[in-house]
Structure 1
Amino acid sequence: MAQLSITGLYLSLLGLLYVVLALKVVKLRTHFKVGIGDGGQGALARAIRVHGNFAEYTPIVILLLACAELNGSHPMIIHFVGAAFFISRIIHSIGITKSQGVTSFRSWGMIVSFLSIIVLALENIRLFLFA
């Protein structure tokens, strides 16, 4: 049996979330009849930022996750960080959707996202130095 990629699982879950977030933008653009920008519509502006923020943070985490997996990190570390990041992106999107201000969902979503990057970066450095 071929070895399955743990990173592939989280990339797939994040890919589906990406489409859900994009469809929310499309739905609001259609509703407000706005093709470019947010048309001054707060809900559309928030949906655009949720999608944009997701697109900004996800690539670095997936790359770090894939490197850690390829470098031989323990599968539980890959699963833990992959799941934490996926959940953090859901929590963050809920937080921004609720308000343009600071919310606990938004804050926790970003904290866990940053921690995911830090943990994976340190794990890759550890694996490199002690291989």
Structure 2
Amino acid sequence: MEQLPQITLAVMAVLVLMSIPMAISVGVRRAKTGILLLHGEDEDLLRLMRAHGNFIEYVPLAILALAGAEIGGAPTWLVAVCGGVLLLARVIHFFGLRAAADSKGRPIGAGLTNATMLVLALAILWQLGTVV
């Protein structure tokens, strides 16, 4: 049996645990406001929805890229650093989106997430021998 991508599995578990309170917070805010669909002009609900939505939009692809790099044979240190940066990026993004509209956390978290995905994609291509 081949070795499972241990780093990816650990990072994925933490990210899944991070997603649960996000989903619950949206449900709690919906129950509190009685808004069952969309955000009903409730700014707090909108921010919670976008924080969770953005997480769900980006994290699965990032996890796949992390797994691809790890399975493809990228250096362990690179996979571990990318996993750590991804976790940090998602925490920064979440709290940045929950803060004021001009918070620096949102673009920093988004930038780190995208940079991590770029590094992972290049690592996968490198391992495949297709980087020119």
TM class by shorter chain equals over 0.9
RMSD over aligned CA atoms reads 1.4
What residue in structure 2 maps to residue 42 of structure 1?
Answer: 43
Alignment of 1:97-116 (within 5 A): 97-99=98-100, 101-116=101-116
Deviations 1:108-130 (A, max 9, x none): 10110110111001110111107
Matches within 5 A, 1:21-36: 21-36=22-37
- In structure 2, the residue matched to 1:7 is 8
Q: Percent identity?
A: 30
1:51-106 CA-to-partner distances (Å, cap 9, x unmatched) read 0000000011101100111011111111111111111111101011112x232111
Deviates more, 1:74-83 or 1:46-55: 74-83
Counterpart Cα distance in 1 of 2:58 and 2:51: 11
Runs ≥4 residues deviating over 6 A: none
Residue type at the aligned position of 2:22: L
Cα separation, 2, equivalents of 1:3 and 1:24:
37
Aligned counterpart, 2:56: 55
Aligned length: 128
